[in-house]
A and B are shown apart, each in its own frame.
Chain A
Amino acid sequence: DAGVIQSPRHEVTEMGQEVTLRCKPISGHDYLFWYRQTMMRGLELLIYFNNNVPIDDSGMPEDRFSAKMPNASFSTLKIQPSEPRDSAVYFCASISGEGENEQFFGPGTRLTVL
């Protein structure tokens, strides 16, 4: 398996623009997580899905952030409009619903909002 795939790897945009981050989880994994990592706040859980259904979105900063999982192999995290304080590395992770609770992370998307 190729592991968790994220795109793009780097995104530079201007304040006010819409940003869409994409994630393909490992095939067969039931859970998908979106995280944001910054030096100040570390790794924060934004939202997670189980069987494509959002379970907990309490970590989503505000209404500018939205996430969808239209099918088991694809998820998006959208920021509209983007702000400089959204600059961070965004990670997607997936796990199987059985066995050890090992989260498999993608390589991340480094977002810079100017």
Chain B
Amino acid sequence: TQLLEQSPQFLSIQEGENLTVYCNSSSVFSSLQWYRQEPGEGPVLLVTVVTGGEVKKLKRLTFQFGDARKDSSLHITAAQPGDTGLYLCAGSFVSSGSARQLTFGSGTQLTVLP
């Protein structure tokens, strides 16, 4: 069973601060995705990373994929209250029977206070 460890589990910060969320596994990902979920809704895809060492930016969000494709990070610059939500990483593993099957991390609940 492939496991995805996400940290921290909870994060409460003031508006304007920076933060980083981490996602780690002992297995190699064929691809990794980050989703954001708001209360009462399903997760929504933010980004997909595929290549080791890849960096993608989405406005104030920066996503990195580790060189060995076993870890990833999400960095938010100058957080805003609108960034509040549950951030989930999800990996498709090389050893998995299907590239379409995702394993989700436990999530990071981010609260940005005004």
Q: Which residues of A contact B (CB under 8 A)?
A: 4, 31, 35, 42-45, 48, 50, 55-56, 91, 93, 95, 97, 100-103, 105-108
Interface residues of A, dominant DSSP: strand
Instruction: Supply 5 A–B pairs (Cβ within 8 Å), ascending by A.
Output: A43-B43, A43-B104, A48-B100, A55-B98, A101-B92
Is the C-beta of B73 less than 8 angstroms from some C-beta in chain A?
no
Which residue of chain B has its CB nearest to the CB of A42? B106
How far, in angstroms, from A95 to B33 measured CA to CA in the complex?
Answer: 14
- Is B45's CB under 8 angstroms from A102's CB? yes
Please name all residues of chain B whose beta carbon is closer than 8 Å to the beta carbon of A42 when the two chains form the complex: 104-107
Is the C-beta of B11 less than 8 angstroms from some C-beta in chain A?
no
- Is A31's CB under 8 angstroms from B105's CB? no
- Is B97's CB under 8 angstroms from A56's CB? yes
Closest chain-B Cβ to A59's Cβ sits at a distance in Å of: 10
> Which chain B residues (16-49) contact chain A, with CB distance < 8 Å?
31, 33, 40-45, 48
> Which chain B residues (85-105) contact chain A, with CB distance < 8 Å?
88, 90, 92, 97-105
- Is B33's CB under 8 angstroms from A101's CB? yes
**Total interface residues in chain B, CB < 8 Å:** 23
How far, in angstroms, from A95 to B102 measured CA to CA in the complex?
Answer: 12
Closest chain-A Cβ to B105's Cβ sits at a distance in Å of: 7
Contact for A100 among B48, B98, B107, CB less than 8 A? B48
How far, in angstroms, from A95 to B42 measured CA to CA in the complex?
Answer: 14
Closest chain-A Cβ to B90's Cβ sits at a distance in Å of: 8
How far, in angstroms, from A43 to B44 measured CA to CA in the complex?
Answer: 13
How far, in angstroms, from A107 to B38 measured CA to CA in the complex?
Answer: 10
Please name all residues of chain A whose beta carbon is closer than 8 Å to the beta carbon of B101 when the two chains form the complex: 45, 48, 56
Contact for A105 among B42, B48, B98, B103, CB less than 8 A? B42
